[in-house]
């Protein structure tokens, strides 16, 4: 009796290299590498973002708002690929820090508009140093970051079946 792997190999030998059993090694798992890299990179942002009084998820919200504001909670949720229920507590904390305001959209009582305060707008100037600091900490060039971003956006498209919400604005202009 053959194993499922042996049967699959017999059916389509081109799918398996000479060391197909090595495909189950932890070090060969994309999911493992992505998970560890994600945790490590986000962790390395922590001390840099503490200077701005932001957590990493709050930083992402602020980045989206610095690109375009005011905007609705739904728009933020769509661009950040997070649920409104996860986003709402972050927005409350950012409002408590006086970086944003939230108010009902006129004519649509169900929609909340999120806008930057003067302090939130001013924070952008201080945040301008974050990308450079992080590239130095991670020993990456701008080109490395662009390449990694393209690869990650391709994975987002492959796993969600939709276009990545955030385009590479430098290559599309």
Q: Break the chain into its structural domains and give their ranges.
A: 54-120, 129-161
pTM of the model: 0.80
| H or E stretch at 122 | helix 118-127
Helices (H) and strands (E) in the chain, counts: 8, 3
Q: What percent of the chain has pLDDT over 90?
A: 71
pLDDT at 106: 80
Per DSSP, the three-state class of 105 is strand
Contact, 56 vs 38, CB < 8 A? no
User: Nearest to residue 57, comparing CAs of 68, 46, 71, 70?
Assistant: 46
The CATH class given to the 54-120 domain equals mainly alpha
Q: Is the pLDDT of residue 69 over 80?
A: yes
């Amino acid at each position: 009796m053959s194993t499922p792997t042996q049967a699959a190999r017999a059916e389509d030998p081109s799918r398996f290299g000479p060391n197909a059993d090595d495909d189950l090694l932890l070090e060969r798992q994309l999911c493992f590498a992505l998970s560890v890299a994600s945790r490590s990179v986000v962790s390395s942002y922590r001390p840099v973002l503490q200077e701005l009084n932001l957590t990493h998820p709050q930083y992402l919200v602020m980045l989206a708002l610095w690109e375009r504001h005011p905007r609705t909670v739904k728009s933020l949720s769509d661009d950040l690929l997070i649920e409104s229920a996860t986003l709402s507590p972050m927005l409350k904390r950012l409002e408590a820090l006086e970086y944003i305001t939230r108010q009902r959209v006129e004519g649509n009582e169900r929609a909340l508009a999120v806008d930057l305060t003067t302090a939130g707008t001013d924070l952008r100037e201080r945040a301008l140093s974050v990308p450079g600091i992080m590239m130095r900490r991670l020993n990456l060039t701008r080109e490395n970051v662009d390449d990694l971003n393209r690869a990650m956006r391709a994975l987002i498209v492959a796993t969600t079946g939709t276009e990545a919400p955030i385009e590479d604005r430098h290559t599309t202009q």
